[in-house]
Amino acid sequence: MAVNIPLDYQPQPELLAGRVILITGATNGIGRAVALAAAAHGAQVIAHGRDKRKLAQLHDDIVAVGGLAPGLVQLDLKTAQGDQYQGLIEQVEANYGRLDGLLNNASILGELTPLEHYDIGRWQEVIHVNLNSTFILTRCLLPLLKQSDDAALLFTTSTVGHQGRAYWGAYAVSKFGVEGLFQVLAHEYEDNPRLRINCINPGATRTDMRQLAYPAEAADSLKTPDDLAPLYLYLLGPDSKAVRGQLITAPIR
């Protein structure tokens, strides 16, 4: 069942104070906006990205808005192996002891082309980054989420993840998979009051990925990642305790 929550939610200044929240794909687009907003509302952010320079810039920007210095996780999801995932778990556990929030947001677009022409290697890469690595990170970090008294596990999907569209290939299929992963986990933990699991479809948003997919589109007509940040904060924070197992679609601007 899809649930619509308005974008006019106004988070309290200390909404996420004392909460440890890991955000994947935190150096661009929606992930970056949520990382900055979460830190500004008191969270101890752990920011994941693959670009060391962008992670360093995000660190400085979070500190500049008065947030706690974030933990930084440089990890290329295309090539990461077991020891690197294990290192991430150990880093979070040693420094924080738990997770109160995990936002699985990192993804890549791949090709927009008919399936009969889709490059097999590129297909495998997109499925791995968008779906397999999301499963692996979630699987590895669930024990730390279960150490929290009030944890939120959140996935970012796409409209093409529940309504297939021609030429969207591996990206669409990977988002169908993310929605399936979310549904399975939400069902498995539906009786656990300390862990709520939800999924967001942000819809058309002014990001670099969107520009790649729709180069002729008038970007000024779209909502921005900053517009979406309150919705993400709501689902990561205590105000959404009663929202469980829901696919939330952001309103059109």
Please identify every residue annotated as catalytic.
Answer: 171
Strand order in the sheet with 101-104: 2-4, 247-249, 195-201, 151-156, 101-104, 20-23, 44-49, 71-74
**Do the Cβ atoms of 130 and 179 come closer than 8 Å?**
no
Collapsing DSSP to helix, strand or coil, 174 comes out as: helix
Question: From residue 81, how far is each of 27, 87, 120, 174, 180 by CA, in Å?
Answer: 21, 10, 21, 20, 24
| 151 within 8 A of 141, measured Cβ to Cβ | no
Spatial contact of 143 and 194, defined as CB atoms under 8 Å apart:
no
63-91 burial, b for 16+ CB within 10 Å, e for fewer? eeeebeebbbbebebeebeeeebeebeee
Length of the chain: 253
